[in-house]
Amino acid sequence: MKLLLIGYGKMGQAIAAQAEARGHQIAGIIDPSRPEARITDFGPGQVDAAIEFTHPDAAFANIQACLRQGLPVVCGSTGWLHHFEEARALTKEVGGSLFYASNYSVGVNLFFHFNEYVAAKMHQFGGYDVQVTEIHHTQKVDQPSGTALTAAQGILRNFPTKTSWRNEPTTAAHELAVLSERTGEVVGTHIVTYSSADDSIELKHEAHRREGFAHGALLAAEWLPGRPGVFGMKDLLGL
């Protein structure tokens, strides 16, 4: 495959290394460190798919540019989802292909799957409160993480007494606390904790390195071309 990398930070570099190891070609790199290259320089004949890992403020514009250029785009940036319905509408309008996940780790997406099952069961038996904690490196911009928000949304869908979330501790019974910590070089840890007067239960995912995210993004880029529409990891993994 010929891949266009949009963003060449730690994730972009990890994706490039894995892509080349899997026999793919990096057709271009779009990054502030390489201002001579633009998304509009590339078209379907030059690129099979674009992979976008940048910044919340840039992601939506990059997605729009890819879709208008006719490029299938895999997006891993978080913090831009207030524009998601606009992205969905544009994808439909141009007959494009968009793949979005808040986290591309196969393990995290199994964590999401189990999270929804556990939330439904815990609510069924009652007596427990629940909160989400996410821990990341100090360079992470958005807070809470997109992964934590996806976990929170899964809880809200399956734990009906929680109707909203708050990015701080809360004593309101209807609010789900989503707590954020930024420390050191932590790649990403997410913990869902159920507590009662009698005991506690935790569901935890801890990422050890970025290569797991890069692998999932490449799987999505390999899967996406030729599939018009908006997709996510549940589609890719059949969950």
Q: How many Cβ atoms sit within 10 Å of the Cβ of residue 169?
A: 9
Rounded Cα gap, residues 112 and 198, in angstroms:
26
Q: Are 207 and 108 in contact (CB under 8 A)?
A: yes
Q: Which residue bears the tokens 């005991």?
A: 199
| Interacting residues of 75 by C-beta distance below 8 A, sequence separation 6+ | 52, 53, 59, 62, 63, 98, 99, 100
Q: Which of 24, 136, 162, 205 is catalytic?
A: 136
Q: Which amino acid is at 72?
A: P
Classify the phi-psi angles of 96: left when phi > 0, otherwise alpha if psi is within -120 to 50, otherwise beta: beta
Q: How many Cβ atoms sit within 10 Å of the Cβ of residue 135?
A: 20
Q: Which of 10, 113, 123, 140 is catalytic?
A: 140
10 is catalytic: no
136 is catalytic: yes
DSSP state of 34: B
Q: Please list the active-site residues.
A: 136, 140
